[in-house]
Structure 1
Amino acid sequence: MIAPGPVRVLLCDDSAAARAVMSRMLATDPGIKVIAKATDGGDALAQLTAMPAAERPQVVLLDLEMPRMDGMTALPLLLKAAPNTAIIVASALSQRGAAATMAALRAGAVDYVPKPSAAAGGISGGQFQAELVAKVKGWARMRRPAVPSAARPAPPPVSVARPMVAERPAGSAQRPRAIAIGSSTGGPQALAALVARLDRPLGAPVIVVQHMPAGFTTLLADHLNRIGTLPCSEAKEGDKLLPGRLYLAPGDKHLLVKDVAGVLVAQLGDGPPENFCRPAVDPMLRSLVTACQGRLLVAILTGMGSDGLAGCRAVAGAGGAVLAQDEASSVVWGMPGAVAKAGIATAILSVEDIAGRILAAGADGKRT
């Protein structure tokens, strides 16, 4: 069992400035401790393997572009040396960086943090710090070995507007006309787990908003296309949203849906960010409530903040069904937690069970 205490982090970046800034950011949270800093992948591997097993980092923050040994070369070696360590890669905000990030996720990294360029103001922004801290703590919790029941403290009560085991009435028994998914921090892995389980034809399109920069969503769509049986693509202006296909909102564009002569059609918007995000979940859901007249099934997955809460209120008010990912399987229980605590979730489920509900609702006409 891992001893209690701050999350232990090994920070690997060839830039001394980046190491210093990220170290200071992490030090603002008493639940995190940077125990080692490395200048390249080989240095990180040497430091990690020299540590006693009980003192090794729970999280490695790994830059991908470094001299001598880069992050992609180091990644499998670090995972072999410490299989339970969560590796979060730091990626440049570029097409090349996006491609490297997706390759790293396929190779075993759990997540990524986009590292803004110096031209964009460096990595000193508050949003970057919040995301960095949330991902480090969230993934450390997800990778922590289970505590034996005899030693496990009683969990604190969960403040939700209804019992966790209960389920709200589902509303209309009609097949949903669209299935909508919203996700953020930890979302790429949650989406991959969900999409891999959607292994039967669906009678409705699946429309996804994942908080991601431009360039990254194109490659995420390709990543999901390889994993599941549903064809997946980044949505384009004027796309007819066809049943049995998955459409991902492009980075830096709101994805809205309109009914045009009985056909659901994608519209991309440059409106202001909502909940500090573009794409955002709320505008997608508002448009879908109107286009589908409430015939919706919505799943809110892991993520920081409360994007999707207002939209889910509108969905529930129109008779649609809302599923929220449970806290145990969420890297950050912000977005799904907000929906759960508001009492508007039809059910609070693991990703695996959410996939089952989607299949049941979309494949054979049953509603959750």
Structure 2
Amino acid sequence: MRKIRLLIVDDSVMVRRRVSEVLSNDPALEVAGVAANGQIALAKIAQVNPDLVILDVEMPEMDGLETLAAIRKTYPNLPTIMFSAFTERGATATLEALSLGAKDYVTKPFQMGSIEAANQHLRQELIPKIKVFCGESIETTTLNSDRDLKTSSINQQLTYRKRAIRNPKPIEAIAIGVSTGGPNALAAILPQFRADFPVPILIVQHIPPMFSQRLATRLNARCQIPVIEGFDGAKLEPGTAYIAPGDFHMSVDRLGSIVQLRIHQSPPENSCRPAVDVLFRSVAQTYGAGALAVVLTGMGHDGLRGCEGIRSAGGQIFVQDKASSVVWGMPGFVAKAGLADKMLPLDQIAAEILRSVANCIQ
């Protein structure tokens, strides 16, 4: 089988060498070329014909954003993963790159304590994304390797089945889980909610620290509702969206008539922190049948267990469809488990949320 051909673009010789070594050790991958800046990269694309480009964000002469724009213009279907520094500037540029058409991003493995830790970061974060974006599905393998999920309802229902909703309780909160492709998906949904949206919105986007704050700021500037990074003890307000901070779980609990956020660093779940399952479990416990969960594009199966809890509590579940998802992992698992009430393309999700909230209020 033909290997996946990669072009690595980074101004650091050490970074190019490290990434090349790690990727070349995977039998499915081949480093077809490297480049020290965007201008060299554009020339190399025509020479080596890569299947995917790994693109540094900050480079001299021609930075990652300029290079990405040129790639999208000449090679619109060539997948690109941004390789971002763990800085505020890197976070801002990376989010801009996603809006310009980059498939996803991976943070550089700096200050991880050892070379092996850095290599492991690349193996876990970069290689699976390369394979998914180049057409190799790893979602089923991810699930089957997890013993804890072998008894899950995913194994009891193999095809999507829409669940009838009878006499729904008024919706009291929206909980959204999303990963790969999430910033653009959220940017498509949240601006459609008016300032008088009647319930709080809770969001877990798989994202590192600093990136979550920049994402909240970016979305807030585009939305009529406030979008903020969640903080411990925050009292939930209607018409406000709360994004879980990177590397922290976010959950909710009720104190009398007040529902507030809890931000904590319990162990990762599904290799994620924040994890969608943590949020969804707490939403099911706090709001019961008044919860509406929305699972958007993303790799893996985070959110599946949480959706089981929301369904058991009588809440509703919407999932993004395969055609509009960057990766149909998270929503796909929920749909195939028979847990979804509705499966919708991205451009219809906001309208369906609004319709559901309005129908429950009437």
Alignment TM-score > 0.5, same fold: yes
Displacement of 1:262: 1.8
TM-superposition CA deviations, 1:26-56 (whole Å, max 9, x none): 44556554332211111102223x44xxx74
Instruction: Tell me if 1:129 matches 2:123.
Output: yes
The one of 40, 46, 53 aligned to 1:43: 40
Tell me the equivalent position of 1:232. Answer: 227
Query: Which secondary structure state, in structure 2, belongs to the residue aligned with residue 277 of structure 1?
Result: coil
Tell me the matched-pair count. 344
Task: Give the whole-Å Cα distance in 1 for the aligned partners of 2:361 and 2:30.
Answer: 49
Map residues 317-328 of structure 1 onto 2, 5 A cutoff.
Answer: 317-328=312-323
CA distance 1:91–1:75, change in 2 (3 Å): same
Task: Give the whole-Å Cα distance in 2 for the aligned partners of 1:106 and 1:199.
Answer: 22
Instruction: Tell me if 1:357 matches 2:352.
Output: yes
Unmatched tracts of structure 1, length 5 or more: 143-157
Displacement of 1:220: 0.7
CA distance 1:141–1:242, change in 2 (3 Å): farther
CA distance 1:140–1:237, change in 2 (3 Å): same
Instruction: Tell me if 1:249 matches 2:244.
Output: yes
CA RMSD of aligned residues (A): 2.9
* 8 Å CA contact 1:173, 1:366 repeated in 2: no
Query: Which secondary structure state, in structure 1, belongs to the residue aligned with residue 105 of structure 2?
Result: strand
The one of 19, 24, 30 aligned to 1:22: 19
* 8 Å CA contact 2:178, 2:297 repeated in 1: yes
Query: Which secondary structure state, in structure 2, belongs to the residue aligned with residue 365 of structure 1?
Result: helix
Query: Which secondary structure state, in structure 2, belongs to the residue aligned with residue 324 of structure 1?
Result: strand
Unmatched tracts of structure 2, length 5 or more: 137-153
* 8 Å CA contact 1:209, 1:279 repeated in 2: yes
Tell me the equivalent position of 1:59. Answer: 52
The one of 207, 213, 219 aligned to 1:218: 213
Tell me the equivalent position of 1:205. Answer: 200
* 8 Å CA contact 1:135, 1:186 repeated in 2: no
Aligned-residue sequence identity (percent) comes to 41
CA distance 1:18–1:6, change in 2 (3 Å): same
* 8 Å CA contact 2:38, 2:64 repeated in 1: yes
Displacement of 1:257: 0.9
* 8 Å CA contact 1:160, 1:342 repeated in 2: yes
Tell me the equivalent position of 2:141. Answer: none
CA distance 1:303–1:319, change in 2 (3 Å): same
Task: Give the whole-Å Cα distance in 1 for the aligned partners of 2:75 and 2:178.
Answer: 29
The one of 179, 185, 189 aligned to 1:190: 185
Task: Give the whole-Å Cα distance in 2 for the aligned partners of 1:209 and 1:66.
Answer: 31
The one of 6, 18, 32 aligned to 1:9: 6
Tell me the equivalent position of 1:147. Answer: none
Tell me the equivalent position of 2:150. Answer: none
Tell me the equivalent position of 1:146. Answer: none
CA distance 1:302–1:107, change in 2 (3 Å): closer
Query: Which secondary structure state, in structure 2, belongs to the residue aligned with residue 207 of structure 1?
Result: strand
Map residues 267-346 of structure 1 onto 2, 5 A cutoff.
Answer: 267-346=262-341
Map residues 76-155 of structure 1 onto 2, 5 A cutoff.
Answer: 76-121=69-114, 124-140=118-134
* 8 Å CA contact 1:92, 1:98 repeated in 2: yes
Single out whichever of 357-366 and 255-264 deviates more from structure 2: 357-366
CA distance 1:125–1:176, change in 2 (3 Å): farther
Task: Give the whole-Å Cα distance in 2 for the aligned partners of 1:58 and 1:189.
Answer: 23
* 8 Å CA contact 1:160, 1:340 repeated in 2: no
Displacement of 1:256: 1.2
CA distance 1:202–1:128, change in 2 (3 Å): farther
Displacement of 1:118: 4.3
CA distance 1:33–1:89, change in 2 (3 Å): same
Displacement of 1:20: 3.3
Tell me the equivalent position of 2:148. Answer: none
* 8 Å CA contact 2:168, 2:289 repeated in 1: no
CA distance 1:171–1:92, change in 2 (3 Å): farther
Counterpart of 2:185, as a letter, is: A
Tell me the equivalent position of 2:253. Answer: 258
Task: Give the whole-Å Cα distance in 1 for the aligned partners of 2:335 and 2:112.
Answer: 40
Tell me the equivalent position of 2:157. Answer: 161
Displacement of 1:126: 3.5
CA distance 1:29–1:269, change in 2 (3 Å): same
Counterpart of 1:133, as a letter, is: I
